[in-house]
């Protein structure tokens, strides 16, 4: 049997000419996450409900087409669907219902698509354009401010220019007491605390841009830990990040940059947080280079343009 495309199968389903075998093939396609994702992308690019649906209401979109087939005549059904089936079939399917289960002769159930709501979370001086000195201390207690190991807000340095604006952050050392044998010498850390909006299970995405002017392999990390009490000690929450059961969620990602100081590399971290999560501690770090003397551990490693977004599934 020659296999049809998803578009062709959806068109046959919409006009009532689909066979049982074709219905099984269509169902198998639509229950796969990658097909559902493609349908949603198509809808987001081509439509804006309900403005792009002449003569159709949102309520009509969520009614089962199988009920219309059973209760309306062919002419009435055609009038009902004309307003939105003039779209591409993929768009119509993405805006309506995804087939969830089937038998040899009929669709048994439909799953309502959940749309992601994405919120951009404001950070204090995310692009370092304010030029304010970074507090040289541990994890800050209050949201909206950076603190960490020795660092500086700088303009263009050597062959490195800020990714955006006029300023960027330069990591200087790995400890507030200086770099010496026995000190905290693995990484130069930077932290910020943010309040988490939303009420359900959420996906937090953190992105930061890194650069380095060195012939060595420079690398960085982004880490985040979630807690349920905005008034709790943020430093203690951070220190408990590796403890089983000590936090709600924790994740870390590594970024290795190339040796071209003209380009910036994006680092990204995705963290799933439960409904009770209310606060997030973000940690960004540059790792020292394996060289001697200690003054060369952080020759020229930079950070710019940090952003945080949160997505939450909601019913349409």
The string of pLDDT tens digits covering residues 132-183 is 788 888 899 889 999 999 999 999 999 999 999 999 999 998 875 555 555 5
Q: What is the CATH number of domain 119-314?
A: 2.60.120.260
42 pLDDT band, cuts 50/70/90, is: low
pLDDT number for residue 101: 38
Residue 203 has pLDDT above 50, yes or no: yes
Higher pLDDT, 26 or 98: 26
- Considering only residues 192 and 31, tell me which one the structure prediction assigns the higher pLDDT: 192
Q: Token digits for 13?
A: 């389903």
Dist CA 258 CA 156 (whole Å): 18
**Confidence (pLDDT) at 8:** 79
**How far is Cα 285 from Cα 254, in angstroms, rounded to an integer?**
10
Say which residue, 81 or 231, is predicted with more confidence.
231
pLDDT at 95: 41
pLDDT of residue 201: 93
Is residue 192 a contact partner of residue 146, using CB atoms and an 8 Å limit?
A: yes
Q: Which runs of E-coded beta strand occur in the chain?
A: 97-102, 107-112, 115-121, 135-136, 147-148, 151-154, 168-171, 187-195, 202-212, 219-227, 249-256, 265-273, 279-287, 301-314
| Region 203-217 average pLDDT | 95
How, if at all, do strands 301-314 and 115-121 pair?
Answer: antiparallel
Residue 68 structure tokens: 């219309």
Stated pTM of the model: 0.63
Whether 121 contacts 143, CB under 8 Å: no
39 within 8 A of 18, measured Cβ to Cβ: no
pLDDT at 84 over 70: no
**What per-residue confidence (pLDDT) applies to 34?**
59
**Top-confidence residue, 113 or 24:** 24
- The rounded percent of the chain whose pLDDT value lies above 70 is 67
If pLDDT is split at 50, 70 and 90, which confidence band does 269 have? very high
Query: How many other CB atoms are found less than 10 A from the CB of residue 116?
Result: 11
For 224, residues 6+ apart whose C-beta sits below 8 A from its C-beta are: 204, 206, 249, 250, 251, 252, 269, 271, 280, 281, 282, 283
Share of the chain above pLDDT 90, in %: 43
Specify the pLDDT at position 257.
95
Token pair of 196 as six digits: 């988490």
The domain ranges of the chain are: 6-113, 119-314
Question: Average pLDDT of the chain?
Answer: 76
Backbone angles phi, psi at 76, to 5 degrees: -65, -40
The residue with greater pLDDT, 304 or 184, is: 304
**Is the pLDDT reported for residue 211 higher than 70?**
yes
Q: What would the pLDDT profile of 45-77 be if each residue is shown by its tens digit?
A: 444 444 433 333 333 333 333 344 334 444 444
Let me know if 62 is exposed, middle or buried by CB neighbors in 10 A (0-12, 13-18, 19+): middle
Between CA 126 and CA 168 the distance in angstroms is 10
Given a cut of 70, whether residue 80 has pLDDT beyond it is no
């Amino acid at each position: 049997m020659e296999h049809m495309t998803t578009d062709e199968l959806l068109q046959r389903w919409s006009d009532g000419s689909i066979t049982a075998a074709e219905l099984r093939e269509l169902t198998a396609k639509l229950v796969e996450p990658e097909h559902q994702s493609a349908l949603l992308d198509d809808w987001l690019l081509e439509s804006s409900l309900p403005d792009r649906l002449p003569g159709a209401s949102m309520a009509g979109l969520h009614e089962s087409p199988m009920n219309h087939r059973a209760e309306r005549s062919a002419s009435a059904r055609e009038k009902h669907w004309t307003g939105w089936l003039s779209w591409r079939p993929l768009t119509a399917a993405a805006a309506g219902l995804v087939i969830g289960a089937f038998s040899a002769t009929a669709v048994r159930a439909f799953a309502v698509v959940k749309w992601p709501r994405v919120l951009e979370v404001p950070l204090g001086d995310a692009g370092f354009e304010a030029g304010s000195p970074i507090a040289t201390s541990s994890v800050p207690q209050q949201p909206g401010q950076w603190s960490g190991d020795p660092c500086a807000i700088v303009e263009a340095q050597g062959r490195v220019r800020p990714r955006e604006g006029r300023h960027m952050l330069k990591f200087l050392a790995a400890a507030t007491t200086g770099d010496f044998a026995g000190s905290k010498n693995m990484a130069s850390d930077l932290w910020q605390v943010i309040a988490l909006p939303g009420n359900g299970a959420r996906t937090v995405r953190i992105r930061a841009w890194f650069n380095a002017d060195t012939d060595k392999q420079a690398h960085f990390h982004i880490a985040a830990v979630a807690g349920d009490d905005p008034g709790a000690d943020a430093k203690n929450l951070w220190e408990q990040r590796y403890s089983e059961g000590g936090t709600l969620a924790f994740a870390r990602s590594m970024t290795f940059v190339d040796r071209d100081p003209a380009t910036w590399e994006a680092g990204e971290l995705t963290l799933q947080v439960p409904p009770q999560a209310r606060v997030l501690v973000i940690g960004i770090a540059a790792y020292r280079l394996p060289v001697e003397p200690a003054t060369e551990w952080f020759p020229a490693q930079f950070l710019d343009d940090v952003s945080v977004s949160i997505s939450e599934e909601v019913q349409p």
